[in-house]
Amino acid sequence: MSEQTWFIIAMVIYLAVMLGIGIWSFTKTDKYEDYMVGGRGLHPFVAALSAGASDMSGWLLMGLPGALFMSGFSEIWMAVGLLVGCWLNWKLVAPRLRSYTEVSNNSITVPSFFENRLRDHSHTLRVVAGIIILVFFTFYVSSGMVAGGRYFQSSFDGDYLTGLLIIGAVTVVYTFVGGFLAVSYTDVVQGSMMFLALILVPVFAIISLDNPGDIFTFQLDNAYGDVANMIGANSNFYNLFQFNDTTAWAAFIIIISNLAWGLGYFGQPHIVVRFMAMRKPADAVAGRRYGVTWMFLCLVGAVFIAMTAPAFFAENGQAFFSDTANYETNFLDMAKVLFHPLVAGLILTAVLAAIMSTVSSQLLVVASALVEDIYAGMINKNASDTLLKNLSRVMVIIVAVIAALIALDPDSAILGLVEFAWAGFGAAFGPVVVASLYWKRLNAQGAAAGMIAGALVAFIWGGLPQFGVMDKPFGLYEMIPGVALNVILMVIVTLATKAPSKEITDEFDEAVRFAQLTVGDSDADLDAVRDKVDAESSQGKI
């Protein structure tokens, strides 16, 4: 059989497994809460890999190795920022959010948590948050579909539209059928595939070299890359602070902008919803170990792919660069040479897995924003469990169709909005999430002011340059000014307006106490702890 046939067989196997998980998850999804957050029964390993896979996307396998290959270790700062942000998110947000969302009227989405936590009877927080999610994630989903279509086109010599429809349809089907459980368990498979691919490719590539030590020296003394876009010898390849043709100030801006990606974690709805879905707050400890370890090893693998590629392609005449502009397919091109076509095909599907895991998570979050936060929260508060579950499934299809229509143009500039959307959520939601969990004085007015300010700054600072309206001021990533203005206005408006009621502050104390009693005790009975907290509260001990 030809190489392409093996690749297609590998993709069919992978897609069949994804559909199988979706069907299995359907049998486990009885209630609306099951469809949205898996009935709060997610194992920490599943939560960790699901959060990681839905977060990293194709950037981890293609974007990062390509950037490092071309410019060297000065591009590693974004990975550092993301790793630190991931650890802090699991450490600071996960345990308290799991506790507080259950205490605060069993909130199952970020917007509903904001409203319940701050008793926002005007529904301003829920509506604003729902609109932000709807707008940003619709384009975010579309960018994933564009990436899927391009992936199918470049990896299997297929038609862009055919690839978009196949990949989009399978993702929609397992999300539609199985809901949160399907998304989470497919994420585990997809995260495992990403991990294995990022470990196996550099290991086998290094073993194949005549002198494995060349990975540390070849690019320092020799030009490398494709003849159409040759990269000169880079003696500063391993220098973290060396940026070509930039001033010290410009280099500083680049470094802090890349590190600032880590700030985005606190506000990503498709990531923090995994925290809400864990079995108990104590699972956050194990989840942090699984999640951060997975991410660290994947990043190490991506770095070693970039380190190995210059010498590997120079030694292997049969290897060629599919992408000579950005070198983002080095990982895939190396796999084609190193492994049997079926194994190489499965490694190729790791990129597809990264794309689909992100798209499915985002589809579910958008559906929850429309159904839980707008329909059930404002229009029909007495809607039945069955109606809400079925409406969520309908919304998954509608959002997917809209995103697919936007993605019909393979040259769509929508891919550039991934960076913009990450900043939008981080700047709009991140500070409010953290303040909701740690600042008792926070009120609805302050949260709304900060959220709106963060979203607007991210849109103006980062969005308009995407459409060619203006240049990005100072070249600074919009996350930084967005988060800064959010925090400033949130604090000023909160302190300038009425303090929260005793009901709100008492619930805050109960949530903190609930977290204290459960985070350190993995065997704690949540119902018993809840009764104890209620008793202490009624006795005035909290």
Domain count, the chain: 1
Residue 412, pLDDT score: 60
Contact 360, 190 (CB under 8 A): no
Residue 281, pLDDT score: 92
Q: Which amino acid, residue 541?
A: K
Written in H, E and C, the secondary structure of 174-243 is HHHHHHHHHHHHHHHHHHHHHHHHHHHHHHHHHHHCCCCCHHHHHHHHCCECCHHHCECCCCCCCCCCCC
Q: Tell me the pLDDT of the chain (542 aa) as tens digits.
A: 788 889 889 888 988 998 899 898 888 887 877 787 777 888 999 999 999 988 887 788 888 899 899 999 999 999 999 999 999 999 999 999 999 998 898 888 899 999 999 999 999 999 899 889 988 888 788 888 887 887 787 777 778 888 888 888 889 898 888 888 888 899 899 899 999 999 999 999 999 999 999 999 999 999 999 877 889 999 999 999 887 767 888 889 999 999 999 999 999 999 999 999 999 999 999 999 999 999 999 999 999 999 999 999 999 877 788 888 888 888 888 998 999 999 998 888 888 888 888 888 888 888 888 888 888 877 888 888 888 888 888 888 998 898 888 888 776 655 566 788 899 999 999 999 999 999 999 999 999 999 999 999 998 988 777 666 677 888 899 999 999 999 999 999 999 999 999 999 999 998 888 888 888 777 777 777 777 777 777 777 67
- 472 DSSP 8-state letter: P
Strand partners, 231: 224
On whether residue 530 sits in a domain, the answer given is no
Residue 106, pLDDT score: 85
On whether residue 117 sits in a domain, the answer given is no
Burial of 237 (0-12, 13-18, 19+ CB in 10 A): buried
Residue 33: phi and psi, rounded to 5, are: -65, -35
On whether residue 113 sits in a domain, the answer given is no
356 Cβ contact list (under 8 Å, min separation 6): 18, 144, 148, 167, 170, 171, 186, 190
On whether residue 533 sits in a domain, the answer given is no
Structure tokens of 164? 């978009």
Residue 416, pLDDT score: 60
On whether residue 536 sits in a domain, the answer given is no
Name the nearest CA neighbour of 268 among 71, 426, 74, 32.
426
- 365: containing domain: 3-105+123-520
On whether residue 542 sits in a domain, the answer given is no
On whether residue 462 sits in a domain, the answer given is yes
Instruction: Report the alpha-carbon distance of residue 504 to residue 116 in Å, rounded.
Output: 9
Checking 460-467 for CB contacts under 8 A at 24+ apart, the result is 462/419, 462/420, 462/423, 462/424, 463/417, 463/420, 463/424, 466/413, 466/416, 466/417, 466/420, 467/413
Structure tokens of 271? 């990531």
Burial 247-273 (b: 16+ CB within 10 A, else e): eeeeeebbbebbbbbbbbbbbbbbbbb
CATH number at residue 424: 1.20.1730.10
Residue 231: phi and psi, rounded to 5, are: -105, 125
Name the nearest CA neighbour of 367 among 298, 457, 270, 256.
270
Residue 196, pLDDT score: 93
On whether residue 525 sits in a domain, the answer given is no
